[in-house]
Chains A and B, each alone.
Chain A
């Protein structure tokens, strides 16, 4: 008699825990029931991200780099669990490695000492903007997400991501991988569901500092721009990354979009 398999239940990844949608609704994806997140789930995810953002930003850049590298380790060791082409998986792992190496390089590249024309020490440092919303493209379902997820994390932000609507499973599987890595609870929050419902809810949430839209839908993009304007949320639209080269092209653009520059002055003198 053959053994009956224990089926997987897919859940959202919010606040470091695996939760069902508060709405109780679901969608079908490749023979699985996948949570259809609601506006309230968005609200909860943003709250979780806000709570985690301060402590995450307070860690040293070196520590964040090690954590992102460990996420790469965790993803590599669980490669077999993902139903995406191996090449895409390798690219996603390498993207984590690449951005892990940015954490302690941002300051010298984006910041510096300002040679002001007065006896002051003036310096500018990049800081994370705080909570970043992310609208992932439909495909590639894993790399498209990681290419936009890793940079805000590297810069010290917490993220709430709306996953690929057509193919959410890889994103939810990533949540499970992150759940066993050292990424602190609430730093990454992943929501599956209808982009048309979730992305506007996210963009309109005043608790967001920045929004990255990789969905590639012009009408949605305009709607998101208008909603973000209500609380001066910073917005970046970008095309989906199909390859590793796409994911690491112009990394500063990805990083700058989610950092603030703080300039400090101190007198120099007796």
Chain B
């Protein structure tokens, strides 16, 4: 008996695959985390943290005022000598506990990260949270081996570290700051970004659960003015900042004459270079990962696509076709590739620069996406016929916008790639190993990816050249910014 012939065309589309949020234990309001506990701000204000995909508040968060910053630094100062005097192994064991707790509460942290910041849950689940746990794990193991990481020299901590992190990888950046600082025997006052404080506050809860001694870590949310105030306060022995170049310069100037060591991890306009002998399909996948990962909200995003002229048409065609399959939408849907833009302000900045690109004469194509009516969204966009002088080729857009420029020779590619005040990262796509290494050694970039892009590891140093900042995070190089050596 033959059944009904249901082989006539089945149109197959992906049904919604929402990551459930009902296991998330978020309070409705958070205080400042100072000296081991949450407390109300003395002179700070309370604000809602907004979900950029829905424009709804997720939780109410306290921001720090001057008195609160003084208290936070005071608590860190008080706790520091005892923390530093602990056996390295004991310090390490606290960090191992935190790493484990991040792993145990991984799913919850990933969901909250996406709700607070707008990035697809698949990314926060598969990249942000695992890397954060790994970072704590890696530095836990350095805590009792510091001299091996600094060439056998004696090393002592600096003291109290003031740390400011951005909104694009909130939990991961907090891990990149806290783990090495604590492993080396420093204590910390960390200010998460204004729009994304929640995972840092959950991390504070994990510190409590790990029984981290009070005062070793402070979490004091706030906007840009709170960060500016923090670095200007007395009583800090080290400043570490990840964020925009313009704010980085302000911080560097604010520390003038104070002798406080500084590390900066700033913006970029990284070149992703595709040679004619690259494996083109893989290169296209790498380009997409390089600029559309996290909606392009990545300091090391491959936002300048330099394609060898002989393959430019092919690459652009393949790239545009691939972009058409990117799924934009609910960050909590596991099939979403492109999530929400982090804030209305950032969306306005992207729109302004994209408009400038069109005015300058570049040719714009944007993927036709159905945008939800609420929330802040920008369609993946491709600019071709871009000249090196165009604003969209020079300024950091920090959005899902790729600009394509062409080159004829290897020397020209290197020259164009280096012709920037930034120097954070670069990508090289070629099947020839010797060429990949030669180009890598000529690029003025702190991170060079060969035949891949946007890979991070807690053991691999990361940081920029030129106005992309100075200092490194990851590996033994990430210890030195937090130690007085020799």
B93 beta carbon closer than 8 Å to chain A: yes
B376 beta carbon closer than 8 Å to chain A: no
Q: Which residues of A contact B149 (CB under 8 A)?
A: 105, 108-109
Report the interface size for chain B: residues with CB under 8 A from the other chain. Answer: 26
Q: How far, in angstroms, from A264 to B434 measured CA to CA in the complex?
A: 13
Residues 235 to 270 of chain A near chain B (Cβ within 8 Å): 248, 251-252, 266-270
Q: Which residues of B contact A184 (CB under 8 A)?
A: none
Q: Which residues of A contact B435 (CB under 8 A)?
A: 269-270
| Residue from the list B134, B144, B459 in contact with A98, Cβ < 8 A | B144
Q: How far, in angstroms, from A66 to B140 measured CA to CA in the complex?
A: 12
Q: Nearest chain A CB to B455's CB is how many angstroms away?
A: 13
Contact between chains at B141 and A100 (CB < 8 Å): yes
B438 beta carbon closer than 8 Å to chain A: yes
Q: Nearest chain A CB to B144's CB is how many angstroms away?
A: 6
Residues 65 to 102 of chain A near chain B (Cβ within 8 Å): 65-66, 69, 94, 97-98, 100-102
A121 beta carbon closer than 8 Å to chain B: yes
Interface string of B89-132 (1 = CB under 8 A from A): 10011001000000000000000000000000000000000000
Q: Which residues of B contact A121 (CB under 8 A)?
A: 437
A32 beta carbon closer than 8 Å to chain B: no
Q: Which residues of B contact A268 (CB under 8 A)?
A: 434, 437-438, 441
Q: How far, in angstroms, from A91 to B437 measured CA to CA in the complex?
A: 46
Contact between chains at B434 and A104 (CB < 8 Å): no
B148 beta carbon closer than 8 Å to chain A: yes
Q: Which residues of A contact B433 (CB under 8 A)?
A: 266-267
B137 beta carbon closer than 8 Å to chain A: yes
Q: Which residue of A lies closest to B138 (CB)?
A: A104
| Residue from the list B142, B438, B441, B475 in contact with A101, Cβ < 8 A | B142
Q: Nearest chain A CB to B431's CB is how many angstroms away?
A: 13
Contact between chains at A102 and B141 (CB < 8 Å): yes
Q: Nearest chain B CB to A269's CB is how many angstroms away?
A: 5
Q: How far, in angstroms, from A119 to B96 measured CA to CA in the complex?
A: 42
Q: Which residues of B contact A66 (CB under 8 A)?
A: 137
Contact between chains at B145 and A269 (CB < 8 Å): no
Q: Which residues of A contact B145 (CB under 8 A)?
A: 101-102, 105, 251
Q: How far, in angstroms, from A270 to B442 measured CA to CA in the complex?
A: 12
Contact between chains at A98 and B89 (CB < 8 Å): yes
Q: Nearest chain A CB to B463's CB is how many angstroms away?
A: 16
B314 beta carbon closer than 8 Å to chain A: no
Contact between chains at B141 and A105 (CB < 8 Å): yes
Q: Nearest chain A CB to B155's CB is how many angstroms away?
A: 15
B317 beta carbon closer than 8 Å to chain A: no
Report the interface size for chain A: residues with CB under 8 A from the other chain. Answer: 27
Q: How far, in angstroms, from A269 to B434 measured CA to CA in the complex?
A: 5
Contact between chains at A65 and B141 (CB < 8 Å): yes
Contact between chains at A108 and B141 (CB < 8 Å): no
Contact between chains at B92 and A101 (CB < 8 Å): yes
Q: How far, in angstroms, from A270 to B459 measured CA to CA in the complex?
A: 30
Interface string of B126-164 (1 = CB under 8 A from A): 000000001001101111110011000000000000000
Query: Quick one: given A267-B434, A268-B437, A269-B438, are A104 and B459 in contact (CB under 8 Å)?
Result: yes
Interface string of B451-462 (1 = CB under 8 A from A): 000000011000
Contact between chains at A101 and B437 (CB < 8 Å): no
Q: Which residues of A contact B434 (CB under 8 A)?
A: 266-270
Indicate the member of A102, A104, A107, A267 with the most B CB atoms within 10 Å.
Answer: A104
B446 beta carbon closer than 8 Å to chain A: no
Query: Quick one: given A66-B137, A105-B141, are A97 and B93 in contact (CB under 8 Å)?
Result: yes
Q: Which residues of A contact B438 (CB under 8 A)?
A: 119, 268-270
Contact between chains at A104 and B141 (CB < 8 Å): yes
Contact between chains at A109 and B142 (CB < 8 Å): no
B248 beta carbon closer than 8 Å to chain A: no
10 cross-chain pairs, A with B, having the tightest CB-CB distances, nearest first: A101-B141, A268-B437, A267-B434, A268-B438, A121-B437, A269-B434, A104-B459, A108-B476, A109-B148, A269-B438
Given A104-B459, A105-B142, 16 additional A-B pairs, CB 8 A: A65-B137, A65-B141, A97-B96, A100-B141, A101-B92, A101-B140, A105-B459, A105-B476, A107-B459, A108-B149, A109-B148, A121-B437, A266-B433, A269-B434, A270-B435, A270-B438
| Sample of 14 A–B contacts (CB below 8 Å) | A62-B137, A62-B138, A65-B141, A69-B96, A101-B145, A102-B145, A104-B458, A105-B148, A107-B459, A108-B459, A119-B438, A269-B434, A269-B435, A269-B438
